[in-house]
Amino acid sequence: MENWQDTEGLAFVIWFIVLFFISLIILIVFIIKTSFKSVLQKEKEISKEKLEHQKELLKTTIFTQEKERNRIAQDIHDGLVSELNNIRLSKKDNEQVINAKLQNCIKTVRLISHDLMPPLIEETSVEDLLTDIIEGLETNLKVEKHKLIHNNVKIDNSMKLQLVRIVQEVTTNILKHAEAFQINFLLRITKSSLMLKIEDNGIGFKEDTTTGLGLKNIIARTQLLNATHKFKSIKNKKTSFLLRLNLN
């Protein structure tokens, strides 16, 4: 009788242990499955956010391009075409006056072409192109320049153009919004990378102001370069723009 009860008790314990492990396995599988679903859902949400971000940047790029085209078309119509029509219809102007008007037309064409493509971009180093932009601020700001350039580093024209547009956008924002009186410009070019830092001593900006068209344009151009960038702002003290571009 006792042997039978012992056997029955042992069987119950074994059965309980088996049920416990089966339940534990089921629980583990459930947890893993739930966690996997959660990870997939998060990855899906991240992918969706990235897609929306890319769409927004594309819209910004297209909008900026259309805005630039409209501005250039307006400049051509109001400046160049109007002046040429005046010359064509003029009957009283002497040769000296006509030459002066033609010089104005040539000046307008140069300004428009400069907007489309910086002059001599193929022959000019990226160092000189960016330094020219910074030095152009000296009428409004105190400028400090620091450069460390490795010789014989070649940067293609498309990269040069994007860097020029980024620096133009950053400096335009400084002039418009920073209320700064000094700007520090640091450029370091090695065989493997280009590092750029533009810092002003202005009023800084709030985080929610970093979604403007100009800053979206900077983001879009940075992505075209496969570069990384960062803004650091301290209220009423300074704003720093940092960019790193791999050249390999």
pLDDT for 98 equals 75
**10-residue averages of pLDDT along the chain (248 residues):** 58 76 83 82 78 70 66 67 70 72 73 64 86 86 88 84 89 88 93 94 71 75 89 89 92
pTM (two decimals):
0.60
pLDDT for 28 equals 85
pLDDT for 19 equals 80
How is 38-91 classified by DSSP, letter by letter? HHHHHHHHHHHHHHHHHHHHHHHHHHHHHHHHHHHHHHIIIIIIHHHHHHHH-S
pLDDT for 118 equals 66
**216, HSE (Cβ side, Cα atoms, 13 Å):** 18
**Tell me, what amino acid is at 160?**
K
How far is it, in rounded angstroms, from Cα 208 to Cα 194?
A: 29
